[in-house]
Amino acid sequence: VSDASGCSMIVLLHTGAAKFPQSFLPRARQAVRSLLPPAVLKGYGSIVSRKLASHGFGASMAAMSSFPPQRYHYFLVLDFEATCDKPQIHPQEIIEFPILKLNGRTMEIESTFHMYVQPVVHPQLTPFCTELTGIIQGMVDGQPSLQQVLERVDEWMAKEGLLDPSVKSIFVTCGDWDLKVMLPGQCQYLGLPVADYFKQWINLKKAYSFAMGSWPKNGLLDMNKGLNLQHIGRPHSGIDDCKNIANIMKTLAHRGFIFKQTSKPF
């Protein structure tokens, strides 16, 4: 660097990009960021990106500059809705089963699994449940049982390549309830096995607290507020909650957060 602005390093990065091995570029980019004043860095950022694109690095370099490498190829965002009342009914049964397949490199949604589930122990939804979740009786009547939905989840996982041993994926939930309490509890009640892929997950509340230094007492609402994000859809809609989780994850990834498993092995 020949002057205080770091311009010579920028020129070096521009002219030498074609000769650099791609594995060296993230380190070179980080070195530039550490040396340049913020105002200079802001001005040159788009120039560097355009120059790298002209040398054939294109969209992959754009993705690398936006997100640090994650530990997983895919994040599977899940948020159940279940039968409920005040006082609580037992056993609770899953009535909405949504999953979003989030690409770990781009943090974009690539595929969606979404089904409603027919409850069998308490087949009639309570007014409290409908008011809370927005799920009305006609949305669950005649729908597949939990056993049938789990079979379709497995088919979807296979179709999406998520059962390939070389593909690293993990579920993400807002809290531990979905996969620590709700699914294993209902499966035990019905005598159904729990697939191994449901036995490890990331609790987004814990991930958020690691990244932001505060616990989101009110879950998604607090996380959206803390990150200045608009809440998507209605609270306690399973599919809308999944979209909010995905949006929060993408925002944290933009800030450099690396997601790690938070559940303990079964």
Q: Which two tokens stand for residue 48?
A: 């560097």
In angstroms and rounded to an integer, the radius of gyration of the C-alpha atoms of the chain is 23
Distance CA 100, CA 105 (A): 15
One-letter identity of residue 29: R
Residue 109's CB is within 10 A of a number of other CB atoms, namely 17
End-to-end Cα, the chain, rounded Å = 53
Give CA 148 to chain center in angstroms: 25
Q: Which two tokens stand for residue 3?
A: 């002057």
Q: Which two tokens stand for residue 17?
A: 């990009």
Distance CA 114, CA 84 (A): 20
One-letter identity of residue 137: Q
**Do 250 and 229 touch, CB atoms closer than 8 A?**
no
Residues labelled catalytic? 81, 236
DSSP β-bridge partners for residue 75: 102, 170
Distance CA 198, CA 94 (A): 15
Residue 262 to residues 45, 56, 190, 204, 231, Cα–Cα distance (Å)? 35, 38, 27, 9, 24
